């Protein structure tokens, strides 16, 4: 198992180099000059322009900029934002808890509903339930997030008044942010109603963000279950007279979960990086929205730093998934 | 007897409830469109940052009267200008307190040291704070302050003298701009000694109507009313900026009662907002102008008759209807009507295809010519859809035989290339900084601005002489006459087609009382109340 872990761990380095190189090249390929964008219609004189580029380190050839960047990253320095002039790591850490909180809740929503729905649809193949789940998941998967989010806001928040429109907590609660996780901070604040307010603010964004993963999990679990249910060992288990619940939950599900776990791992990465639209609609102060704004402002250190941290996290999540395979299915760790 | 007891208990309860309600803090929620870059206005240029900083937390020596471009005394009670227009002596207000916050308790009141600190930080490259937080003072440089100011001196605790290298009448208006916000020198010293000067720009201390409490990036900014504000305490007790980038969501928040006021509504939502009984929709012309500039260095645009002809060939009303919908008004002058010296007597070129054809033929282009129209890739208040606008102009010009190709670049590239004069005609615009006509006319059409923000590359001596003269005169009536004359010359020479001034809409809850639209596009909450 330790050997397996190290083998997987070594795969991280080429991925890491690839991410830094790709991010660096791509953002420098986008046309646009960070200094000119800041000056806007007002314009900037050439001497000041050159001085500002030098201050930002953009006057050097690209390869020098890249190696300097990598050197700083290895020292743990992701640079300072061109816009706010604050360290990128500090900005990221301020915003990341919000993304993590939202992604975690969206993931719970997707797994808790998607996996059981997929299992039941698989077991009851061809029934009305199966068709409903598959139809609904296809709809959920194809739904444009922006439209879906606005629709939810208009119906649940504006029309019914059940949930707040956006933000993380009502403007009436002035609680201190310690951990950055609003649910925890609100709970610790002891202000009556604060936790309820934070929770109610989380419901719609978590549902919207969790919709696509939910659809993916339901479909994946169903097809995986269908395959496993055809296997000899399931037939054997049934022939042995085991109860249907035991056959499904112990014999079939454990094997059916391998591809599902892969997808859950991949979707975790997608959620961390891809919450941009949900964060924008719900004014959720997370890293997705921050990276998007940084791209618009050509804030290179923030884009590079933000993507690097997220990519590193995704690499680690995938490493975790790989290791989990090894635990669930010992054959994988021996053959690889 | 029992009933009487119940009644008396109930009435006491009702009275308590009423007291509680009346004593409840008035919290005003402003649904802002984005996060501030920081809290020191001099370091940044965006209106979003100014809304969160200078407009709530700081005062300036001179200030704009709320809702107007009129200059009134601020932290300076008065100022004297030397006869040659180069020495400005500011007499400072006494008894002004700085904010007391969780991170700073002032030991003295505002005085000349604070003014010296606030300007020297930007002016003096060796100032200990000059390089802090990136140290780029784009507005200070953009308004030519480093070249204009010769010295800034403290005469006594309540008198500061600015000496200029040349007379500059808009200087007072510049002193009311956001970059001229006055900071606490005592607080700056304290942070420098503590080794945390960067915090100075993130945890602001000013003399303004609201005190900064906290900021959660991309989420909320919190303020409380400053009890000792020199103009009197704000009517609202707490002010919250709820940062919401999407306009539709801002509207939903307003409808759901989660916010009191939102900026920048979607033009598509305006019709619904006008009908919405729970919303007040205020409107005013913006302090901006959208224009099409002819590059007068190109052979075909050197003759004013060609420029006049192409101005006549454009159906501006069609542009207003198609591009601005309800949110624009035809522009005839290069300055908006909300600025003093706007010359309403100027007559715009009427849409006249036959007349335009004749003028073109007289100018030697009976069959027209080929040219280009540059269309901005971004949405701006003065031009919500440049591509569409360019298409309409292209169509209009084709009727007089001028074939135009539409060209667009990435925004930064667009600005740079148009500054260099690579275009034949370019769509652009301007939003005013200080309400002074010089800020439009000299910045966009002066000879000094050729190769920079003068996109027409137009340098016309009779026009420029008027601007130069107006800079040297401090009497506003005399300046008004000069600028009015300049506008007549501008129209006759037609270096631009003035297209539109945007109309600014502010949707707000019915409970909002006495909000005034800031002509500079800002949001000022001092003076606003909730009923």
Closest CA to B141 of B43, B232, B73, B234: B43
State residue A256's pLDDT score. 86
* Alpha-carbon span B63 to B518, nearest angstrom: 12
* Chain A residues close to B29, C-beta within 8 Å: 171
State ipTM. 0.78
Closest chain B residue to A47 measured between Cα atoms? B141
A231-236: long-range contacts at Cβ-Cβ below 8 A with a sequence spacing of 24 or more? A231/A255
Interface of B with A in 195-254 (CB under 8 A): 198, 201-202, 213-214, 216-220, 222, 238, 240, 242-246, 248-249, 252-253
**Which residues, 6 or more positions from B465, have their beta carbon under 8 angstroms from its beta carbon?**
none
Query: What six digits make up the tokens of A222?
Result: 């169903």
DSSP state of B380: B
Distance between start and end Cα atoms, chain A: 11
CB pairs under 8 A between A and B: 139
Count of Cβ atoms closer than 10 Å to residue A87 Cβ: 17
**Which residues, 6 or more positions from B365, have their beta carbon under 8 angstroms from its beta carbon?**
B300, B306, B401, B402
B416 touches chain A (CB under 8 A): yes
DSSP state of B43: G
The string of pLDDT tens digits covering residues B193-248 is 999 998 899 999 999 999 999 998 888 999 999 999 999 999 999 999 999 988 88
Task: Please report which confidence band the pLDDT of residue B20 belongs to, taking 50, 70 and 90 as the band edges.
Answer: very low
| Minimal C-alpha gap between A143 and chain B (Å) | 18
Query: What six digits make up the tokens of B433?
Result: 């900084």
Count of Cβ atoms closer than 10 Å to residue B354 Cβ: 10
A85 touches chain B (CB under 8 A): yes
Pairwise CB contact (< 8 Å): A167 & B134:
no
* Minimal Cβ distance to B410: which of A31, A44, A86: A31
* Alpha-carbon span A205 to A109, nearest angstrom: 11
State residue A273's pLDDT score. 65
* Chain A residues close to B249, C-beta within 8 Å: 150, 153, 165-166, 281-283
Interface of A with B in 222-281 (CB under 8 A): 280-281
Total-model pTM? 0.83
Query: What six digits make up the tokens of A83?
Result: 């816009």
The per-residue pLDDT of chain B, averaged, comes to 91
Torsion of CA B518, B520, B526, B529, to 10 degrees: 30
Pairwise CB contact (< 8 Å): B246 & A283:
yes
Closest CA to A192 of A166, A170, A162: A170
A153 touches chain B (CB under 8 A): yes
The string of pLDDT tens digits covering residues B253-275 is 999 999 999 998 887 888 899 99
Pairwise CB contact (< 8 Å): B245 & A289:
yes
Pairwise CB contact (< 8 Å): B410 & A32:
yes
The string of pLDDT tens digits covering residues B320-353 is 999 988 789 999 999 999 899 999 999 999 999 9
| Minimal C-alpha gap between A241 and chain B (Å) | 57
| Minimal C-alpha gap between A283 and chain B (Å) | 5
* Alpha-carbon span B231 to B274, nearest angstrom: 35
Interface of B with A in 4-43 (CB under 8 A): 27, 29, 34-35, 37-38, 43
**Which residues, 6 or more positions from A63, have their beta carbon under 8 angstroms from its beta carbon?**
none
Which strands make up the sheet holding B149-156, listed edge to edge? B76-81, B87-92, B159-164, B149-156
Count of Cβ atoms closer than 10 Å to residue A8 Cβ: 19
Count of Cβ atoms closer than 10 Å to residue A9 Cβ: 13
Report whether pLDDT(B19) > 50. no
* Minimal Cβ distance to B27: which of A30, A172, A298: A172
CA geometry: angle at B360 spanning B359 and B365, to 5°?
A: 150
Highest mean pLDDT among B5-9, B11-15, B326-330: B326-330
């Amino acid at each position: 198992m330790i050997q397996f872990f190290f083998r997987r761990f070594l795969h991280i380095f080429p991925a890491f180099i690839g991410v830094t190189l790709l991010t660096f090249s791509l953002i420098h390929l986008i046309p646009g000059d960070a200094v000119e964008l800041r000056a806007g219609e007002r314009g900037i004189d050439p001497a000041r322009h050159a001085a500002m580029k030098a201050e930002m380190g953009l006057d050097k050839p690209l390869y020098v900029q890249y190696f300097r960047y990598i050197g700083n990253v290895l020292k743990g320095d992701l640079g300072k934002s061109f816009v706010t002039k604050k360290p990128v790591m500090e900005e990221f850490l301020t915003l990341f808890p919000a993304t993590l909180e939202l992604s975690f809740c969206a993931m719970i929503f997707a797994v808790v509903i998607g996996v059981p729905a997929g299992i039941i649809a698989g077991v009851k193949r061809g029934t009305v339930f199966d068709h409903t789940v598959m139809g609904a998941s296809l709809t959920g998967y194809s739904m444009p997030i922006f439209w879906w989010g606005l629709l939810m806001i208009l119906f649940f928040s504006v029309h019914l008044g059940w949930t707040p429109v956006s933000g993380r907590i009502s403007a009436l609660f002035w609680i201190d942010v310690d951990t950055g996780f609003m649910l925890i901070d609100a709970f610790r604040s002891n202000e009556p109603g604060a936790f309820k307010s934070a929770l109610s603010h989380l419901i719609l964004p978590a549902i919207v963000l969790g919709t696509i993963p939910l659809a993916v999990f339901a479909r994946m679990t169903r097809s995986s279950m269908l395959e496993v249910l055809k296997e000899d060992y399931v037939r054997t288990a049934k022939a042995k007279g085991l109860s249907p619940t035991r056959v499904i939950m112990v014999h079939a599900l454990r094997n059916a979960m391998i591809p599902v776990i892969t997808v859950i791992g991949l979707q975790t990465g997608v959620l961390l990086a891809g919450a941009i639209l949900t964060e924008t609609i719900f004014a959720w102060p997370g890293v997705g929205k921050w990276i998007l704004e940084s791209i618009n402002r050509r804030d290179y250190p923030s884009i590079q730093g933000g993507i690097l941290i997220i990519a590193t996290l995704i690499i680690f999540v995938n490493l975790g998934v790989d290791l989990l395979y090894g635990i669930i299915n010992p054959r994988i760790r021996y053959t690889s | 007897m029992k009933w009487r007891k119940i009644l008396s208990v109930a009435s006491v309860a009702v009275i308590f409830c009423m007291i509680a309600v009346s004593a409840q803090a008035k919290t005003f929620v402003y649904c802002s469109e984005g996060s501030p870059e920081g809290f020191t206005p001099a370091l940044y240029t965006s209106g979003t940052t100014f809304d969160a900083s200078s407009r709530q937390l700081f005062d300036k020596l001179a200030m704009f009267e709320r809702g107007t471009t009129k200059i009134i005394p601020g932290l300076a009670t008065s100022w004297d200008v030397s006869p040659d227009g180069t020495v400005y002596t500011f007499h400072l207000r006494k008894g002004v307190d700085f904010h007391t916050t969780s991170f700073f308790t002032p030991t003295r009141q505002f005085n000349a040291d604070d003014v010296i600190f606030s300007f020297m930080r930007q002016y003096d490259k060796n100032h200990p704070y000059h390089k802090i937080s990136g140290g780029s003072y784009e507005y200070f440089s953009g308004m030519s302050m480093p070249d204009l100011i010769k010295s800034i001196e403290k005469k006594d605790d309540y008198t500061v003298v600015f000496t200029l290298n040349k007379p500059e009448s808009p200087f007072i208006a510049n002193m009311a701009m956001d970059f001229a916000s006055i900071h606490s020198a005592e607080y700056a010293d304290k942070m420098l000694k503590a080794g945390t000067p960067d915090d100075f720009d993130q945890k602001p201390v000013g003399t303004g109507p609201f005190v900064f409490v906290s900021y959660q990036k991309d989420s909320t900014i919190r303020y409380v009313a400053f009890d000792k504000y020199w103009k009197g305490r704000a009517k609202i007790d707490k002010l919250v900026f709820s940062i919401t980038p999407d306009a539709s969501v801002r509207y939903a928040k307003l409808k759901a009662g989660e916010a009191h006021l939102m900026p920048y509504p979607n033009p598509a939502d305006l019709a619904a907002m006008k009908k919405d009984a729970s919303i007040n929709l205020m409107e005013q012309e913006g302090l901006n102008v959208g224009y099409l500039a002819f590059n007068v260095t190109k052979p075909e645009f050197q003759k004013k008759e060609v420029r006049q002809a192409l101005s006549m060939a454009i159906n501006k009303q069609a542009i207003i209807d198609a591009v601005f919908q309800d949110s624009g008004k035809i522009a005839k002058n290069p300055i908006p009507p909300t600025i003093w010296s706007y010359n309403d007597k100027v007559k715009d070129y009427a849409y006249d295809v036959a007349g335009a054809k004749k003028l073109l033929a007289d100018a030697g282009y009976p069959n027209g010519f080929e040219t280009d129209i540059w269309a901005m890739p971004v949405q701006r208040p003065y031009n919500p859809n440049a591509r569409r606008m360019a298409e309409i102009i292209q169509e209009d010009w084709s009727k007089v035989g001028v074939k135009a190709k539409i060209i667009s670049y990435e925004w930064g590239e667009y600005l740079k290339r148009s500054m260099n004069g690579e275009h034949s005609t370019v769509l652009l615009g301007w939003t005013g900084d200080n309400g002074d006509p010089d800020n439009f006319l000299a910045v966009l059409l002066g000879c000094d601005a050729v190769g920079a923000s003068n996109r027409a590359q137009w340098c016309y001596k009779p026009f420029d002489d008027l601007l130069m003269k107006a800079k040297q005169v401090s009497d506003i009536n005399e300046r008004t006459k000069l600028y009015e004359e300049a506008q007549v010359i501008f129209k006759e020479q037609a270096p631009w087609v003035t297209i539109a001034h945007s109309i600014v809409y502010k949707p707000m809850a019915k409970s909002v009382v006495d909000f005034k639209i800031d002509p500079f596009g800002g949001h000022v909450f001092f003076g606003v109340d909730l009923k």
